């Protein structure tokens, strides 16, 4: 997997460069000092998602979900496990479809919907429940085709 070279801080949305040779997973924001990779998915709204797309150079995995969706709730621990396994290699975001306009702009027709962005551009998407292994394999396969 290609290394992340820049990410948005999950706390203040400031862009942070990651120097070559430094472990991204241990990075902290230069402005607010928060961890850049919390080892768990980051909840985002439309504005925070836009900041991540703008400031992240590398992979973003977005889970569009809703609290009333059974498959979404079943997939949540798998998405969190994948975020832990790929901590520092991709940014994992969760967006509540009921509270945001971005899912409509992305053309989401069913949830859970997973999107993979590379350098701010959508490169793959998948709808439906996925296990941790299926999700990490899908990310690796989609990224290699991007």
Catalytic residues: 69, 72
Are 52 and 62 in contact by the 8 Å Cβ rule? The answer is: no
- Computed from CA positions of residues 125, 131, 133, 134, in that sequence, does the dihedral angle turn out positive or negative? negative
Are 115 and 75 in contact by the 8 Å Cβ rule? The answer is: no
- Any bridge partners for residue 60, and if so which? 91, 117
Extract the tokens encoding 139: 């990310």
């Amino acid at each position: 997997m290609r290394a992340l070279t820049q990410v948005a801080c999950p706390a203040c949305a400031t862009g942070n460069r990651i120097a070559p040779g430094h472990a991204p997973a241990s990075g902290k924001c230069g402005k607010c000092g928060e961890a850049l990779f919390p080892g768990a998915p980051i909840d985002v709204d439309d504005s925070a998602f836009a900041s991540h797309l703008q400031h992240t150079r590398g992979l973003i995995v977005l889970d569009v979900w809703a609290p009333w969706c059974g498959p979404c709730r079943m997939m949540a621990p798998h998405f969190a496990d994948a975020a832990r396994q790929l901590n520092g290699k991709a940014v994992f975001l969760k967006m509540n479809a009921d509270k945001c306009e971005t899912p409509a702009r992305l053309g989401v027709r069913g949830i859970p919907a997973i999107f993979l962005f590379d350098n701010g551009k959508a490169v793959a998407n998948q709808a439906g429940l996925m296990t941790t292994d299926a999700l990490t394999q899908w990310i690796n396969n989609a990224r290699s085709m991007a």
